[in-house]
Amino acid sequence: MTDNSALPPYPPPLSEAQLDELKTHAVDWALAHGLVVRAPTSSGASPAESAVPAVTHAPVALFPSPFPRKLFEQALVLQPLFNELVDNVARDHEFLTEVMDSLAKVDDFTGRLYDIYKRVHEEGISQSISLGLHRSDYLLHVPADAPNTEPVLQQVELNTIASSFSSLSHLTHDLHRFLAKRTGFFNDASLPSPDITLDALPENTSIRSIAKGIGKAWELYEVPTAVAVMIVQPGERNAFDQRWIEYKLFEEYNVPLLRLSLAEMLQQCKLNGTGKRLMRGNTEIAVVYYRAGYAPTDFPSQKEWDARLLIERSKAIKCPNIAHHLVGTKKVQQILAKSGLVERFIFDKKKAEALRASFTGLYELDDTPAGHAAAKMALENPGRFVMKPQREGGGNNIYGDDIPGHLSAMSVTERNAYILMDMIRPPQLINIMVRHGALIKGEVVSELGIYGLWLSDKGVVHLNENGGHLLRTKAANSNEGGVAAGFAVLDSPLLI
Ligand code: ADP
Ligand code: MG
Ligand code: MG
């Protein structure tokens, strides 16, 4: 970052008493406005005690974190291009088959998803409408050997399934606005640049965007009595982020949304005759939106796999369909970074270049000369890399110095289930995080997510836009960034 020494200190230096007042405002505003998660159940609680509904505030940053406006805008511009890329890749059967044939051999979970893909491909796809509600995540990068250069935007990953926090992210923006106005503790004079005002907190459409995608898909389905289903994990703590989608969908599109686990889906729903309409009793399901089904733990038995197949075979619009789901794997991300691959799917040279500019180094770890060279590079210089399996939800990656031990213990075949990625090094800032009612001050880094809305039918694109943003902030010394996984807090960008 540039030299900030001439600027006012940020966050503003408040007294203990002021910080405490700010925290009380933050926590109570969060509780009053549904910026909440279910409280963890204590292990000693009786069944009667556990049945009492209990919530706690979502973990949040006390102050919005400064973020370069130019790079924020760059991420917004990229989103429709990524949406288009995902759909074009998902419709390329030859490409997906080639990638997944080899990945399925080394990764059971992806292999089982791919079995579903193959099954419906053979049988014939019963729904041509694709609904994508993605989130592309970025870190800013400053090279370790050139700390004074301007940061650049680098993509961490692109999520095509269960992209969470669109509702709570929006509420965090509202919280920061409220705190700024109500307390005056971070007035304009204390913002990181003299010409910055609170208008630097950008509008966020994210609380409406997922509902918009589901609502517009429901309209295309053209069955006025049909409902939407959200596939949820049993015991989900992040239930209110999801409930806000349900409420917005009902308020704005008059569409009821049911929450079902995969096991409940199998138990309660079936296909109706040759039309393959997905029915729950007499109620038809128009859209199935997954907030579960991305991790092996979501499939404890064959029942859940049967439910996933049932949905995929049906006429319901799935978000994501199995092809979009597979395009979200880290392996596809790595392959798309190879020379000429983005260009295979995005013909416009400028668009392809813009996408590429957000990629960091991505390498295969397979049994090819390139794979061996990447493994050698990681063993010699592990601090420069992150190793990633085909998993979602946080907590799965292997970082820096942990890489050699893992790599050496793996056969070359096993390595193929992972990809290698350059370590992105975001600039560090100071902020204060509020978690379980306590303040944690320290050096932090932020990860920006941009939601993407895509809705298409046989080459006709009905929706292709960005759907608002998410900023997650974590302690600078923590590798991972998930909020639900307990590493990060919800934040909002203060554009500088
Ligand atoms: P998941 O699908 O489990 O969320 P990610 O690829 O997003 O997997 O990795 C989880 C977290 O690990 C990210 O939120 C980020 O904080 C960190 N991370 C991932 N890739 C990199 C990278 N290349 N450089 C630095 N940090 C990374
Ligand atoms: Mg992910
Ligand atoms: Mg992630």
Q: What is the pLDDT of residue 149?
A: 94
Quote the distance between the C-alpha of residue 161 and its chain's center.
8
- Domain of 410, CATH number, reads 3.30.1490.50
**248 plus 288 within the same structural domain:** yes
DSSP code per residue over 295-351:
SGGG-SSHHHHHHHHHHHHSSSEEES-HHHHHHTSHHHHHHHTSTTHHHHH---HHH
Residue nearest to atom 23 of ligand 1 (CA): 423
Q: What are the structure tokens assigned to 448, written together?
A: 């920006």
Q: What is the pLDDT of residue 51?
A: 83
How many residues are listed for the chain in this entry?
Answer: 496
Q: What is the pLDDT of residue 2?
A: 44
Q: What are the structure tokens assigned to 30, written together?
A: 């969060």
CB atoms closer than 10 angstroms to residue 346: 22
| Residue that finishes a domain, picked among 391, 423, 455 | 423
Alpha helices in 193-234 (DSSP H): 206-221
Enumerate the β-bridge partners of residue 429.
Answer: 444
Q: What are the structure tokens assigned to 388, written together?
A: 């990633």
**432 plus 384 within the same structural domain:** no
Please state the domain count of the chain: 2
Is 38 annotated as a binding-site member? no
**272 plus 395 within the same structural domain:** no
**Amino acid (1-letter code) at residue 410:** M
Q: Beta-strand (E) ranges in 223-273?
A: 227-231, 257-260, 270-272
Helix (H, G, I), strand (E, B) or coil at 480: coil
Distances (CA, A) of 316 to 93, 139, 210, 232, 287: 21, 35, 17, 17, 5
Residue 459 lies in a domain: yes
**153 plus 281 within the same structural domain:** yes
**275 plus 406 within the same structural domain:** no
Quote the distance between the C-alpha of residue 20 and its chain's center.
32
Domain, as residue range, for 269? 16-360+424-495
- In a structure prediction context, what are the per-residue pLDDT tens digits for the chain, which is 496 residues long? 444 455 678 898 899 999 999 999 999 999 999 999 999 877 788 888 888 889 999 999 999 999 999 999 999 999 999 999 999 999 999 999 999 999 999 999 999 999 999 999 999 999 999 999 999 999 999 998 999 999 999 999 999 999 999 999 999 999 999 998 888 887 777 888 767 788 899 999 999 999 999 999 999 999 999 999 999 999 999 999 999 999 999 999 999 999 999 999 999 999 998 889 999 999 999 999 999 999 999 999 999 999 999 999 999 999 999 999 999 999 999 999 999 999 999 999 999 999 999 999 999 999 999 999 999 999 999 999 999 999 999 899 999 999 999 999 999 999 999 999 999 999 999 999 999 999 999 999 999 999 999 999 999 999 999 999 999 999 998 887 778 777 899 999 999 9
> Ligand 1: residues whose CB is within 6 Å?
137, 139, 156-157, 386, 388, 391-394, 396-397, 421-424, 447, 479-482
- Catalytic status, residue 330: yes
What phi and psi values does residue 258 have, to the nearest 5 degrees? -100, 145
DSSP state of 113: H
Residue nearest to atom 4 of ligand 1 (CA): 394
- The span from the CA of 485 to the CA of 473, in Å, is 13
